[in-house]
Amino acid sequence: MADRYIPFTKVLRDLPASTPFVGPEALERRTGRAFRARLGANESCFGVSPKAAAAMREVADQVWKYGDSESFDLRRALAAKHGIAEEQISVGAGVDEILGNVVRLVVEPGTTVVTSNGAYPTFNYHVEGFGGRLHMVPYKDGYEDLDALLAAVRETGAPLVYMSNPDNPMGSWHDAATINDFVRALPAGTLLVLDEAYIEFAPQAAAPAMDPDDPQVVRMRTFSKVHGLAGTRIGYAIGHRDLVTGLDKIRNHFGVTLVAQVGALASLNDPDFLQGVIDQVAEGRRDYEKLARRLGFRALPSATNFVAIDVGGAERARFLLNALQDEGVFVRVPPVAPLNRHVRVSVGTPRERAIFAEALEKVAADMPAETEDG
């Protein structure tokens, strides 16, 4: 058998073995303990719409069937919601899958792609997985630096640039006018991936008007956050008809399950539940801001379902990450400087927020001294 081998591509052979995130389940297996508060993955701790739960239960005995390969009913409802054509929407198994397919549309081995250093790592994972080369620009004062992103696009000739609005991991956001100016300034032939996974939690002014006739923008939306359907894996892209046609050429046509489609449609039709989640998240963000002030930290303004708390240095953030894990609280720290001076914590239920507050107060007293450079 020594002369037998797997014929990996050169791209694959050159990639290190890696994953974008270490999940909470993996951490629990390592420690042998379950988390008391799961506040690191930006899931919705407020559950799912009762209408969605009921709809999914009703089709549980029908999962012998594939889901509708066109997600027709859901796409029709989404088109009506956004005032666009069904042909301008592509549904996929979460934004992560759609990101990979968009990268596949335009990235060949050696293609340069622009993003921010510290932005959503799953996008980077796809770019590298298809042989692209990442060109990263730093954040500026906790925001994605649109001027720097644009300059990098012009310098490299990149056909693809990524940004999230509101941003993950910082929770910051740009207003619609600023986003529109950025889009208008893009060189011809550059596609913007505008990841709006958290848009429901943001001020209305953060969302540009829908214009899927522009071939240089694809917008990503998800049912994982405000809808609480992360475990079903379902999201959608809004873009030019030609882009959606391109996605149809390569997407997994049966990748979105029947249960996911039914649950997403029912949740979409339960606006009162969704508004309740938004209101509870806003209350939770205020709780975190008060907690941070009380402990001498600074909570960054957030338009998402999480808050980034500046704890005064990267060493201190890493200490708190590990100490909180020992206390049964799962949070995350952004991976790169200067973002890594923050602890990012999802907004939990009142009970989970109380667990987090108690644990943070307990471990904060033993933190290393603050450092000037973070």
CATH of the domain at 349: 3.90.1150.10
- Specify whether 35 is located in the same domain as 173: no
Which pLDDT belongs to residue 18? 80
Distance in angstroms (rounded) separating the CA atoms of residues 215 and 220: 14
Q: What is the CATH number of the domain that holds 200?
A: 3.40.640.10
What's the sign of the alpha-carbon dihedral 85, 88, 90, 94? Answer: negative
Assigned domain for 18 exists: no
Verify that 157 and 252 share a domain, yes or no.
Answer: yes
Q: Does 171 fall in a domain?
A: yes
Dihedral of CA atoms 29, 30, 31, 37 in degrees, nearest 10, equals: -60
- From first to last of the 374 residues of the chain, give the pLDDT tens digit: 678 989 999 998 999 888 788 899 999 999 999 999 999 999 999 999 999 999 999 999 999 999 999 999 999 999 999 999 999 999 999 999 999 999 999 999 999 999 999 999 999 999 999 999 999 999 999 999 999 999 999 999 999 999 999 999 999 999 999 999 999 999 999 999 999 999 999 999 999 999 999 999 999 999 999 999 999 999 999 999 999 999 999 999 999 999 999 999 999 999 999 999 999 999 999 999 999 999 999 999 999 999 999 999 999 999 999 999 999 999 999 999 999 999 999 999 999 999 999 999 999 999 888 765 55
Using CA atoms, how far apart are residues 193 and 103, in angstroms rounded to an integer? 9
- Quick one: pLDDT at residue 21? 84
End residue of a domain, out of 242, 268, 294: 268
Chosen domain end from 248, 268, 288: 268
Q: Is residue 16 part of a domain?
A: no
Whether residue 13 lies inside any domain: the answer is no
The pLDDT score that the predictor gives to residue 270 is 98
Q: Kindly report, residue by residue over 244-268, the tens digit of the pLDDT.
A: 999 999 999 999 999 999 999 999 9
Instruction: Map residue 337 onto helix, strand or coil.
Output: coil
Residues 231 and 281 in one domain: no
Contact 42, 306 (CB under 8 A): yes
pLDDT confidence of residue 278? 98
CA separation (Å) from 127 to 15, 63, 70, 244? 11, 33, 26, 19
Based on the fold, state whether residues 100 and 171 are members of the same structural domain: yes
CA 68/CA 306 separation, integer angstroms: 33
Sequence-distant (≥ 6) Cβ neighbours of residue 204 within 8 angstroms: none
Residue given tokens 């829908």 in the structure block:
210
- Is 371 domain-assigned? no
Same domain, 176 and 144: yes
Classify residue 374: in a domain, yes or no.
no
Residues 198 and 311 in one domain: no
Which of 115, 155, 182 lies closest to 336, judged by CA?
A: 115
Q: pLDDT value at position 19?
A: 79
Residues 162 and 222 in one domain: yes
- Helix (H, G, I), strand (E, B), or coil: what is residue 81? helix
| In a shared domain, residues 238 and 282 | no
Regarding whether 351 and 234 lie in a shared domain, the answer is no
Phi, psi (rounded to 5 degrees) for 306: -145, 170
Instruction: Kindly report, residue by residue over 194-230, the tens digit of the pLDDT.
Output: 999 999 999 999 999 999 999 999 999 999 999 999 9
Q: How far is CA 217 from the centre of its chain?
A: 17
Tell me: do 262 and 281 sit in the same domain: no
What's the pLDDT at 189? 95
Quick one: which of 59, 39, 49, 53 has its CA closest to 227?
A: 49
| CB contact at 8 A, 219 and 70 | no
Q: What crossing angle do the helices spanning 350-364 and 314-326 adopt, rounded to 10°?
A: 120
For residue 153, tell me if it sits in a domain. Answer: yes
Phi-psi region of 94 (alpha: psi -120 to 50; beta: other; left: phi over 0): left
Sheet holding 89-92, edge to edge: 89-92, 235-238, 217-222, 191-195, 160-164, 112-116, 133-137
In a domain, 88, yes or no: yes
Domain count, the chain: 2
pLDDT score, position 372: 56
The answer to whether the beta carbons of residues 73 and 261 sit under 8 Å apart is yes
Looking at residue 301, its pLDDT comes to: 98
Cβ atoms within 10 Å, residue 270:
17
CA distance 335 to 342: 10
Asked whether residue 205 falls in the same domain as residue 318, the answer is: no
What residues make up the domain containing 174?
A: 51-268
Which of 268, 298, 323 is the last residue before a domain boundary?
268
Same domain, 261 and 295: no
| DSSP label of 204 | G
